[in-house]
Amino acid sequence: MTVYADNAATTKVCRAAIDAMLPCLDEIYANPSSIHPEGQRAKAVLDGARRKTADVIRCKPSEIYFTSSGSESDNQALLSAARIGKSQGKTHIISTAFEHHAVLEALKKLEKDGFEVTLLGVHEDGIIRASELADAIRDDTCLVSVMYANNEIGTIQPIKEIGEICRKRGVLFHTDAVQAVGHVDIDVGRDNIDLMSFSSHKFHGPKGAAVLYARKGVQLTRLLLGGGQERGYRAGTENVPAIAGMAAALTEQAKNIEANAEKVSALRSFLTDELLKIPGTRLNGSGESRLPGNVNVCFENVSGESLLVLLCEKGICASAGSACMSGSLEPSHVLLSIGRSEKEAKGALRLTLSEENTMEEAKYIAECVRDAVVRLRAQ
């Protein structure tokens, strides 16, 4: 038996996405920039995908830019906002200590280029405080970048409040919503979001397609130079099959968002309760303001790496932290940011569920984890 519980790392491609992709791998192969009828067929697929994507996050199709990955979208968002800031003499950026590395590394580059970066601390519940953000904004602040939901501990941030503060203070607001889009309802207008990143493979679409939403009037900077694709802001022939698959997956997820959240959060609550019965176990991050499928716990006196090996033997796919950092012996920067010690952080287990998981699987995971923890502690 294989039980897949690593949906924060990536998700299984859904049927709707595959059905949308197949014709684009077969008959609709022309270049969407070609003016002949075959090219126009491919362009129609792109236009349709842009419209569907815009509908889900409630923006205009002209505010959607297709990219290759969430990482690319994050990079382009940050570098664009920084460029705009610099042109106005503003070089201060605010973000948080527990962002994804696609944001943190871009911030490091900007620091080298002369920007000043303030990283807000995260509270023990895995949530930043909007009031602390408001206090950190200065006259020279050009950008606030706060993730919608954290990829390790699943905590959802007060995005609407943050958006309101930023809009009032005239500061651009970017959110890395890679973990949130397709899983929670998002409205970029309601939340005053100027820039938002999200990625197909985190909501049952294929890999290799992602989106950068940029509100009308927010001028993007090019990361890739070349042709005039994406209205001149992202060169390179579009990945039509993946983009078609992404839009189909997103539409499907958006349609089922409430039913899925209900189903998945019931599994999550069950699993969390079962794991917390194991002595020396702590939940990481708020139990309430949290993605439906995220369970993240620390076990005292257990090595998370050894635990994962035992779970693999039982066919359970889980992770200790983010997939990007697996293999590194460093404790998770996210767990350290919420006040866990290095030792505690090394005993972490992340289980991320989707609507494909069942109650039987949740019970099986709970049993296997308990047995493995007992075994490791007895060694």
The catalytic site residues sit at 324
70/68 Cα distance (integer angstroms): 7
Give 49 or 137: the residue with its C-beta nearer to ligand PLP.
Answer: 49
81, 88 Cβ separation under 8 angstroms: no
Give 177 or 271: the residue with its C-beta nearer to ligand PLP.
Answer: 177
Q: How far is the CB of 71 from ligand PLP (least distance, A)?
A: 3
Q: How far is the CB of 356 from ligand PLP (least distance, A)?
A: 18
Give 52 or 174: the residue with its C-beta nearer to ligand PLP.
Answer: 174
Q: How far is the CB of 70 from ligand PLP (least distance, A)?
A: 2
Q: How far is the CB of 181 from ligand PLP (least distance, A)?
A: 10
Interface contacts to ligand PLP, rule CB under 6 A:
69-71, 74, 100, 102, 147, 151, 176, 178-179, 199, 202, 210
68/3 Cα distance (integer angstroms): 28
Q: How many residues does the chain have?
A: 379
> 377: Cβ–Cβ under 8 A, 6 or more apart, which residues?
301, 302
Give 302 or 334: the residue with its C-beta nearer to ligand PLP.
Answer: 334
Q: How far is the CB of 69 from ligand PLP (least distance, A)?
A: 3
Q: How far is the CB of 120 from ligand PLP (least distance, A)?
A: 16
Query: Among all chains, which residue has been given the structure tokens 């767990």?
Result: 335
Give 70 or 321: the residue with its C-beta nearer to ligand PLP.
Answer: 70
Q: CB atoms < 10 A from the CB of 259, how many?
A: 10
- Start-end of H helices in the chain: 15-25, 37-57, 70-87, 101-112, 130-136, 159-169, 240-255, 257-276, 304-313, 333-337, 342-345, 359-378
The string of DSSP letters for 89-151 reads T--EEEEETT--HHHHHHHHHHHHTT-EEEEEP--TTS---HHHHHHH--TTEEEEE--SB-T
In the complex, which residue's CB is closest to ligand PLP? 70
What single DSSP character describes residue 36? S
217, 266 Cβ separation under 8 angstroms: no
Query: Among all chains, which residue has been given the structure tokens 């197949």?
Result: 22
Give 209 or 349: the residue with its C-beta nearer to ligand PLP.
Answer: 209
379/374 Cα distance (integer angstroms): 9
Query: Among all chains, which residue has been given the structure tokens 């078609």?
Result: 244
